[in-house]
Amino acid sequence: MGIIETRHLTHDYQKIDEDGKTQVSCRAVDDVDLDVSPGQFIAILGHNGSGKSTLAKHLNAILLPTQGTVYVDGLDTRDAEKLDAIRQRAGMVFQNPDNQIIGTVVEEDVAFGPENMGVSPREIEQRVEASLKTVDMWEYRKHSPNRLSGGQKQRVAIAGVVAMEPMCIVLDEPTAMLDPVGRKEVIRAAQKLNREKQVTIILITHYMEEVIEADRVIVMDQGKILMQGTPREIFSRVEELKAHRLDVPQVTMLAHELRKSGLPIPEGILTVEELADAISPLVNHTESKKG
Amino acid sequence: MSIKIEHLNYIYSQGTAYEKQALTDINLELPDGQFAGVIGHTGSGKSTLIQHLNGLIKATEGTVYYNGENIYAENYVMKDLRSRVGLVFQYPEYQLFEVDVFTDVCFGPKNLGLPKEEVEKRAYEALRQVGLKEKYFKKSPFELSGGQKRRAAIAGILAMQPEVLILDEPTAGLDPRGRDDILEQIARLHAERGITVVLVSHSMEDIAKYVERIIVMEKGRVRFDDTPKKVFEHDRELEQIGLAAPQVTYVMRELKNRGMDVDLCATTIDEAKQSILRCMAGRG
């Protein structure tokens, strides 16, 4: 069974005027079926307003469906009695590193989640240590969060979720406000959790280089799933991505352009190595002809 | 006409326990009409540097000249400088505060003491320049999307009609479409009005695409200051200071390593493509 299943998930935002009447209703997520198996690394792409954050917020019952159903490890998110169980299974990390840290010391912040779950003090200690080590922030355990860099703060936020030992972590643009180094640190932490602890990761991002190692990429547009597949399948559809003004990694774009110019280069090139591998035999071939 | 910085040093919280040298011996000249990029790791001093350019921060040592005048001179009118050198902060949308977008954009020119008619004319023009449609003018800034808010905030600076426009990571946190829109509009402003633009960015791909000069900051000093091509030749050193060259530069390097005679200076997709095709044609 999947860790996350949505069936015909639809969500409408309503704008309510001063008299409490609905003025406008806007469909943010439109009939989405999503299945995520345990241990997968899923990346969700899409523009602002494409519905990806709204979708994400359904995965730990911050939002409830207007229509359709969301199951987290088989639990229906509309079942209010299961709310704690759902949030323990699916943790969430948000975009702004300054909005999600509450403790005055790093280790206290990480302990907050398990404390609220009623975990014993000794186990809290163990969990705090393990999760801070996973995100490489153990040496900062006694620091004040407000003096950390953005990437470090985000990793503390991830540790806080990890300490609750969730099966699944949803990261909603965790790197959007970070510099390139901070971005890499956060993505590396998510990949490590996925590989070493088999935590299911759902990563929402605008940065293409962050999705090329995902098991599956989902592209959202106007509340619907526009494309779905492996990174290679998705990035083979350059023209479609461009038509929706989505980014394509520079190396994929260059490969695509060369292909359009007549060079026999396959679509879906994702790394510098792959492109070089595709180009260099062509040169050797022409050289040998000449010789 | 230019901005000139001579032997600039800046120390934060001088004389306290938190004293920190943020900038060390900076010497730069920004000629009129240049499109320059400033890159550097977080904490390298980029933001501190640009806040000197319109006098928001006063140098601990050294001098800043605007059009040949020392801005620290006793009789220098700082207010004048701030209307000529427009600074768009990071996340400028946090500074939107008026009841509607149009009024917000009017705030700057109004404070310059311009007549109402001129203020509104400038506000219209600025909003048009950033590509914000008229239907948003009377909306509360908080009803706009992230990219629209950002554009409204930039319009607020443009309405002052600055001679120099400095933008501190104007595309941070935006989606690819919002990012491209804003950068294209800035490039167009630079081309059409000839204003000097200083763009602070983390994205090497963006920088490579738009600017004619890159200033690389590291630990409060200028590490490199040259054309993008020359700067990106130092890809190893850039990596050591937490930066990187654009991805295509690495493709070219790899091809060169494999014996192809490609142009190592290619920094954009188009340049790389031309060079690879030329190389193929030459050999075939």
DSSP string, B164-233: EEEEESTTTT--HHHHHHHHHHHHHHHHHH--EEEEE-S-HHHHHHH-SEEEEEETTEEEEEE-HHHHHT
Q: Do A286 and B202 touch (CB under 8 A)?
A: no
CB contacts of B260 in chain A (<8 Å) are 279-280, 283
Phi-psi region of B66 (alpha: psi -120 to 50; beta: other; left: phi over 0): beta
Which residues, 6 or more positions from A258, have their beta carbon under 8 angstroms from its beta carbon? A265, A279, B273, B276, B277
Could you tell me the pLDDT band of residue A126, with boundaries at 50, 70 and 90? very high
Location of structure tokens 């920094």? B267
Distance of CA B280 to the CA centre of its chain: 37
pLDDT greater at residue A287 or residue A196: A196
Q: Is A263 on the interface with B (CB under 8 A)?
A: yes
Could you tell me the pLDDT band of residue A150, with boundaries at 50, 70 and 90? confident
Which residues, 6 or more positions from B45, have their beta carbon under 8 angstroms from its beta carbon? B10, B22, B23, B217, B219, B220, B221
Q: What is the pLDDT of residue A286?
A: 53
Q: What is the pLDDT of residue B1?
A: 65
Please give the backbone phi and psi of residue B259, each rounded to the nearest 5 degrees, phi first.
95, 10
- Among B168, B251, B256, B271, pick the best mutation site for testing chain A contact (most A Cβ within 10 A): B251
CB contacts of B277 in chain A (<8 Å) are 258, 261, 263
To the nearest whole Å, the CA of A129 is away from the closest chain B CA by: 28
**Span B161-169, average pLDDT:** 94
Pairing mode of beta strands B69-70, B20-31? unpaired
Could you tell me the pLDDT band of residue B284, with boundaries at 50, 70 and 90? very low
Whether A116 has a pLDDT exceeding 60, the answer reads yes
**Around A193, how many Cα atoms within 13 Å sit in the side-chain half-sphere?**
34
Q: Do A275 and B251 touch (CB under 8 A)?
A: yes
Q: What is the pLDDT of residue A85?
A: 93
**Span A227-233, average pLDDT:** 95
User: Tens digits of per-residue pLDDT, A193-216?
Assistant: 999 999 999 999 988 888 988 999
Could you tell me the pLDDT band of residue B69, with boundaries at 50, 70 and 90? very high
Q: How far apart are CA B229 and CA B213, in angstroms?
A: 9
What is the DSSP-derived secondary structure letter of residue B143?
G
Please give the backbone phi and psi of residue A190, each rounded to the nearest 5 degrees, phi first.
-65, -40
Percent over 70 (pLDDT), chain B: 99
ipTM for the assembly? 0.80
User: Tens digits of per-residue pLDDT, A255-280?
Assistant: 999 999 999 999 889 999 999 999 98
Percent over 90 (pLDDT), chain B: 63
Could you tell me the pLDDT band of residue B266, with boundaries at 50, 70 and 90? confident
Is B202 buried (19+), middle (13-18) or exposed (0-12) by CB count in 10 A? buried
Could you tell me the pLDDT band of residue A17, with boundaries at 50, 70 and 90? confident
User: Tens digits of per-residue pLDDT, B209-218?
Assistant: 899 999 999 9
Whether B192 has a pLDDT exceeding 80, the answer reads yes
Q: What is the pLDDT of residue B18?
A: 80
The CA-atom distances, in angstroms, between B45 and each of B48, B51, B160, B235 are 5, 10, 26, 20
- Among B149, B273, B277, pick the best mutation site for testing chain A contact (most A Cβ within 10 A): B273
> Which chain A residue has its CA at the smallest distance from B181's CA?
A245
Whether A291 has a pLDDT exceeding 60, the answer reads no
Please give the backbone phi and psi of residue B11, each rounded to the nearest 5 degrees, phi first.
-120, 125
> Which chain A residue has its CA at the smallest distance from B250's CA?
A272
User: Tens digits of per-residue pLDDT, B31-53?
Assistant: 999 999 999 888 889 999 999 99
> Which chain A residue has its CA at the smallest distance from B242's CA?
A181
Q: What is the pLDDT of residue A15?
A: 77
> Residue B31's beta-bridge partner residues?
B2
Q: How far apart are CA A150 and CA A168, in angstroms?
A: 23
**Span A50-70, average pLDDT:** 94
Whether A164 has a pLDDT exceeding 50, the answer reads yes
Lowest mean pLDDT among A79-83, A101-105, A224-228, B84-88: A101-105
Whether A232 has a pLDDT exceeding 50, the answer reads yes
Averaged pLDDT of chain A: 90
- Which of these, B42, B91, B32, B70, lies nearest to B218 by C-alpha position? B42
Q: What is the pLDDT of residue B124?
A: 95
User: Tens digits of per-residue pLDDT, B100-115?
Assistant: 999 999 999 999 899 9
Please provide the distance, in angstroms rounded to a whole number, between the alpha carbons at the two ends of chain B: 51
Q: Is A287 on the interface with B (CB under 8 A)?
A: yes
Whether B207 has a pLDDT exceeding 90, the answer reads no
User: Tens digits of per-residue pLDDT, B145-156?
Assistant: 878 898 999 999
Query: Domains in chain A, ordered, with CATH?
Result: 4-231 (3.40.50.300), 249-291 (no CATH)
Q: What is the pLDDT of residue A290?
A: 46
Is B229 buried (19+), middle (13-18) or exposed (0-12) by CB count in 10 A? middle
Pairing mode of beta strands B35-40, B69-70? unpaired
CB contacts of A206 in chain B (<8 Å) are 174-176
| H-helix or E-strand spanning residue B263 | none
CB contacts of A49 in chain B (<8 Å) are 145
Pairing mode of beta strands B213-218, B35-40? parallel
**Around A163, how many Cα atoms within 13 Å sit in the side-chain half-sphere?**
34
Q: What is the pLDDT of residue A129?
A: 96
pLDDT greater at residue A15 or residue B156: B156
> Which chain A residue has its CA at the smallest distance from B280's CA?
A283
Beta carbons within 10 angstroms of residue A23's beta carbon: 10
Q: Is B176 on the interface with A (CB under 8 A)?
A: yes
